[in-house]
Amino acid sequence: MKQSIFLWLIITIILSSCNSKSDDTKTGPLLDPTLQLIGDAPKKKIRTVGILLYDGFATLDAMGPHHVLKEMMGTNVFFIAKQKGTITNGGGIKIDVHRSIEDVDSLDILVVPGGFKETYLMTKDTAVLNWIRRIDKTTTYTTSVCTGAWIVGAAGLLKDKNATTHWFGKDILKNEFGAKIHDRRWVRDGKYWSSAGVTAGMDMSVALVANIMGEPYARAALLDLEYDPQSPIEGGSEFNTDKETVDMMRKMYSTGMEEVKLSLTKRPKVEAAKLVSFLDPVCKMKVNYATGDSAVYKGKTYKFCSKMCKESFEKDPGSFVASK
């Protein structure tokens, strides 16, 4: 829809220009709504937006901001990875990335999406962290979505800065990376912008468009996207969800995080050939074969993101394994 909207804007400008030539005393009635829609000139020149991808990133953390920020005409939004090639996200979607961190030495906006286990492992990747520090020196905005704030924090960029992240990840962002945590959908501290979990990345991106292009332009973008979230049920926040559900989810995340931290200090040798899949058969989360609980079913080894998934599997393994 974006191209059709802006094509209409161009046609409107042309028509209003012709109208003004035929009668110099007219202001051009078609021009006024066009100016109201586009708004003033952009406050900042944004030409390049790079979104850092890595195995295990959460789909909407990257794709939401990609779609919203593409609404800014003349802006090149692209993906970057540590190395060129295929990146597999947390849901198993494969994306070909054509730019490596070695190919990119400056950006106007950096977006770092989140995930879970692989995201925490990225906080220990010296090459990526050094690249983020270098890129940050060139950016107008350095941003993160969800637990992507862990990675930006690990680069030392959020220490003593106001920030937010996924509700489970707040303690890690505060205790390990020194950020000042706020319970908001998105937070701005100078050039550093961060969002809460997953869907909040779109809210932050809309705010960025408004900050750069002005609110009239952002409203047009919102209408183009028909972005008007209305959840059919109450929930989505630790503050409006029942305690039992919050506690259950927190336990699941905590178990998974304990395992990934253990993997950083102890990496058991596993015969990869015996593994049927790198996906947890219960929740379908990608699992590092060197970590997590495991169970053997019909002579084959399956890996799990948490003890909860392993227990569910052991109760009825056949329901999680497709018969051949």
* Residue 211 vs residue 281, higher pLDDT: 211
Copy the structure tokens of residue 72: 């800014």
Instruction: Give 97-100's long-range contacts (Cβ < 8 A, gap of 24+).
Output: 97/53, 99/50
Question: Shortest CA distance to 17 belongs to which of 30, 4, 3?
Answer: 30
Q: Quick one: pLDDT at residue 193?
A: 98
Q: Quick one: pLDDT at residue 278?
A: 65
Model confidence over 223-232: pLDDT tens digits? Answer: 999 999 999 9
Identify whether the C-beta of residue 227 lies closer than 8 Å to the C-beta of residue 202.
yes
Instruction: Give 129-133's long-range contacts (Cβ < 8 A, gap of 24+).
Output: 129/154, 129/155, 131/101, 132/52, 132/157, 133/157
Model confidence over 149-188: pLDDT tens digits? Answer: 999 999 999 999 999 999 999 999 999 999 999 999 999 9
Q: What's the predicted TM-score (pTM) here?
A: 0.77
% of the chain beyond a pLDDT of 70: 81
- What residue spans define the domains of the chain? 1-38, 41-225, 243-319
Model confidence over 65-85: pLDDT tens digits? Answer: 999 999 999 999 999 999 999
Helices (H), 214-306: 215-225, 243-265
Q: Which listed residue (18, 146, 283, 305) is catalytic? A: 146
pLDDT greater than 80 at residue 8: no
Is 146 one of the catalytic residues?
Answer: yes
Using CA atoms, how far apart are residues 209 and 219, in angstroms rounded to an integer?
9
Lowest mean pLDDT among 41-50, 249-258, 270-279: 270-279
Fold of the domain spanning 41-225: Rossmann fold (3.40.50)
* Residue 262 vs residue 150, higher pLDDT: 150
